[in-house]
Structure 1
């Protein structure tokens, strides 16, 4: 159940991140949290079982990458699981096309239910493996959250982007060893330490690009 404390934690944490939430965005994020709590009991959508931890570890963690989304109009969230960060991105950027991709049917069914209940017209949910998915046009941004190694992330999704696409990998500890194994046609464009309110441990965002 979503409590008034969750509402306060979301508002306060977003403000610490420099994210200004409208009343509609705040309410939609909490409605998404309520669905996540409800469905998680049966569908095992996330390893975080305690609703009190979900605001920081899911909502605020997803919001922490907002400054790096930029003008890119179409985003793919690979291995989206319970919909993070794709669904919060769809809520925050109603003018962008957000696609979530996961090979787990239970998780994409949940995401489809969220799309219907929250009326997220800009959200597309795809049930597929990343390497098998063939979009009509490349995405301008591809994001993953604790999905795989940087090597696998870039290898499995290189066909989903174009020459101007940015790949955003959300990580915990800085993955120096994974950077060494990056495929030769990818390079590290920038890296950022993220301070997520209420989250213990390190958070890092690595931005990759294709090498021409």
Structure 2
């Protein structure tokens, strides 16, 4: 389980030192070694394989890895989590490395990305990961998870339609969104009512001092 992060005074890191900091080691806990290896793979191959843009390479830890790790405290300790539109593995791979007791299903439609995900899972030795190639809608009725997550996939109304059929009754949709997500709530109310969902919770996901917080939206499926 991740340790407590933060200190009385925020440290200042650059892209090379952040991942090696004591604060990050404490936050990632036992998942640290796996996440570091994932970061190395993403840094070395991400741009070449079209997974991240060239300007993102120096910011992998702050903008991508820790941004993804911020969702982990809001996920169940055990059970199953599905990450839709997994892409480069954000946040799915980070979740799997930090929570080895969770069964993590990565749903991704693009073959070149599922190939990458399979290579990463093999390199990191993550037996708790299953990769499914396809769109989330193709798996409606095939399985349900305790939680479904995603990062930068779609507007909230579309995301609920895509994701909520994969959430078991009583389970939660826990997604990483932009800071203006509150503006997406009203257009999503009709589809939210379909699943007996009340007002979504808009939460702040913090990781370590000096790193921008992540906006997380959480909704519980009622039926």
What's the TM-score bracket when you normalise by the shorter of the two chains? 0.7 to 0.9
Give the TM-score, by structure 2 length. Answer: 0.81
Once the two structures are TM-superposed, the CA of residue 14 in structure 1 deviates from its matched residue by 5.5
Which residue of 2 is the match for residue 178 of structure 1?
184
Higher relative contact order (Cα pairs below 8 Å, separated by 6+ residues) = 2
Which residue of 1 is the match for residue 111 of structure 2?
105
Once the two structures are TM-superposed, the CA of residue 135 in structure 1 deviates from its matched residue by 6.4
Once the two structures are TM-superposed, the CA of residue 4 in structure 1 deviates from its matched residue by 6.5
Structure 2 stretches lacking a partner, 5+ long:
1-14
Which residue of 2 is the match for residue 145 of structure 1?
151
Matches within 5 A, 1:1-212: 5-9=17-21, 11-13=22-24, 15=26, 19-22=27-30, 25-47=31-53, 49-134=55-140, 136-182=142-188, 183=191, 184-185=193-194, 186-197=197-208, 199=211, 203-212=214-223
What is the rounded CA distance, in whole Å, between the counterparts of 1:79 and 1:67 in structure 2? 21
Give the TM-score, by structure 1 length. Answer: 0.85
Once the two structures are TM-superposed, the CA of residue 117 in structure 1 deviates from its matched residue by 1.1
What is the rounded CA distance, in whole Å, between the counterparts of 1:208 and 1:158 in structure 2? 9
Residues 188 and 207, structure 1, Cα contact 8 Å, conserved in 2? no
What is the rounded CA distance, in whole Å, between the counterparts of 1:71 and 1:195 in structure 2? 18
Residues 68-113 of structure 1 deviation map (CA, whole Å, 9 limit, x = unaligned):
1133510001111100111011111111100111111111111100
Aligned with 1:142: secondary structure?
strand
What is the rounded CA distance, in whole Å, between the counterparts of 2:54 and 2:206 in structure 1? 19
Aligned with 1:71: secondary structure?
coil
Structure 1 stretches lacking a partner, 5+ long:
none
Aligned with 1:125: secondary structure?
strand
Aligned with 2:29: secondary structure?
coil
